[in-house]
Amino acid sequence: METNQTKAKPLALSGKMSNETFITFLMIGVLLFLFAVAAVFVPNFYQPRNILNLVTNSWYIIILGIGVTFLLITGNFDLSVGGVIAMTGVLSVYFSQAANVSQNELANGLGLPYGVAVVLALICAMGIGAVNSFFVVRIKVPSIIVTLGTMMLARGIAQIVTQGAQRNTSLPDVFGVIGNVSIPGTPVKISVVIMILLVIVAFIFERMTVHGRRTYLIGANAESARLSGVNVNRHLTTLFILSSLLAGITGLLMASEFKAGISNRATGYEFDALVISLLGGVSIAGGFGSVLGMFVGALILSVVTSAATGLLLSPDWQFTLKAIAVFIAILSQGYFLSRRKG
């Protein structure tokens, strides 16, 4: 009887959008709403210049968010990204600083050519990712614990190399280029362009590739994925190293921007990256979420914080506002998703 019905009715193919797309649109709606509210109360909030700032100001969190989002989709955390930023930044400075030029230890580096220093620093960043994946994949330690450890390890290395402070002298001029150069005629920095390119690549990876698909399979059910022939261990290893590499790139760009390797750089960024992923609808249970959603989540956070500044709220309010935004977003996602199921 049931089968006859289905034969009579043609199979609906694309009538319904996926839950991920739905959440992304929902969050875009929330973003527009918050923007409209801010535009009413904050003078000049709607100016193009300000809108541009909303996007460009959080480039570093968005780059981190890419790796964090993919790992969340597999059901894993990466809390080490903030530490990796500091470590990579400090190491790139240390490797580039001229050798034996000063009495001050912090002014002496290894004197390596800039290109070599950059590559070495990125390899060190990926080393942290390798440690993460080793413990998660081989020793089966939960990622939240492992990356909590490497978060401190990476920052610890940064503090040892800088003696708990920073390194900012005897650097070649070329060191400060990539973090400060803008696209001619615009205020948009190279870092922002890199961020946009990475988001596009990540989006294509997520939606169109076999490996993107496998990322979801692992998060949806790791055992089913394994029994379906997915090499779960290799895939997770790659993603952990990728996430650290992205954090490393961010660290290099930030070190270049300030021409300094600062050991307490990017403290708490791992949580900001987590927050924007959650705002974008990524599920910590795994198997669900999207990079585009994460991007929208970053913009929501950006609107909230800059509107608060515009309203002359004291910076002390920032965390509380972030918290409220997160609660509203998560609750509305749950509400609309459950309404949708019916």
Partner 1 sequence: MKPNENVLEIKNLVKDFPGVRAVNNVSFDIKRNTVHCLVGENGAGKSTLIKILTGVYERTSGQILLNGDEYNPHNPREAKQKGISTLFQELNVVDQLTVEENLTLGMEDTTFGFLRKTDKINRIVSVMNSIEPSIHPRSKVSTLSVAQKQIVEIAKAVAAESDIIIMDEPTAAISEGEIAHLFNIIRRLRENNVTVIYISHRLDEIFELGDYVTVLRDGGHIATKPVSEIQDRSELIKMMIGKTVFEQYTPPEEDCKDIILEVKNLSNHRLKGGINFDVRAGEIVGFYGLVGAGKTELARAIFGADPYEGEIIFKGKKLSPGPGKSIAAGIALVPEERRTQGLFTILTIRGNIPVMNLENISRNGFINATKERNVTIEYIKKLNIVTDSTEKEAAKLSGGNQQKVVLSKCLFANADLLMLDEPTRGIDVGAKSEIYSIIRQLSKQGKSIIIFSSELQEIMNICDSIYLMYDGTLRSTLRNSCDVDSEMILHIVTGGE
CB nearer to partner 1: pick between 9 and 49: 9
Q: Is 21 in the site for partner 1 (CB under 8 A)?
A: no
The dihedral built from the CA positions of residue 47, 51, 52 and 57, taken in this order, carries a sign that is positive
Span near partner 1 by CB under 8 A; candidates 6-14, 43-51, 154-162, 330-338: 6-14
Using the CB atoms, write b or e for 246-284: b if 16+ within 10 Å.
bbbbbbbbbbbbbbbbbbebbeebbebbbbbbbbbbbbe
Q: For the chain, what's the residue count?
A: 342
Q: What is the 3-state secondary structure (H, E, C) of 165-206?
A: CEECCCCCHHHHCCCCCECCCCCCEHHHHHHHHHHHHHHHHH
Structure tokens that stand for 236 in this block: 């997770």
Q: What is the C-alpha to C-alpha distance for residues 3 and 7, in angstroms, rounded to an integer? A: 6
| Residue 229 binds partner 1 (CB under 8 A) | yes
Q: How far is the CB of 282 from partner 1 (least distance, A)?
A: 13
* Nearer CB in complex with partner 1: 14/314: 14
Give the list of residues 6+ apart from residue 42 with CB closer than 8 angstroms, or none.
307, 310, 311
- Min. distance of Cβ 212 from partner 1 in angstroms? 8
Helix (H) or strand (E) holding 332: helix 318-341
Q: Is 8 in the site for partner 1 (CB under 8 A)?
A: no
**Exactly one of 8, 13, 40, 139 binds partner 1 (CB under 8 A); which one?**
13
**Near partner 1 in 152-211, by CB under 8 A:** 208-211
Minimum Å gap between C-beta 219 and partner 1 is: 9
Of 74-82, 193-201, 227-235, 303-311, the window that binds partner 1 (rule: CB under 8 A) is: 227-235
Residues in binding contact with partner 1, number by CB under 8 A: 32
- Interface stretch with partner 1, choices 75-83, 171-179, 226-234, 321-329 (CB under 8 A): 226-234
| Site membership for partner 1, residue 104 (CB under 8 A) | no
Residue whose pair of structure tokens reads 């390194």 in the numeric block: 167
Considering the rule CB under 8 A, would residue 226 count as an interface residue with partner 1?
A: yes
227 binds partner 1 (CB under 8 A): yes
Contact 94, 107 (CB under 8 A): no
| Contact residues: partner 1, CB under 8 A | 2-3, 6, 9, 11-16, 18, 208-211, 213-214, 216-217, 220-221, 223-231, 287-288
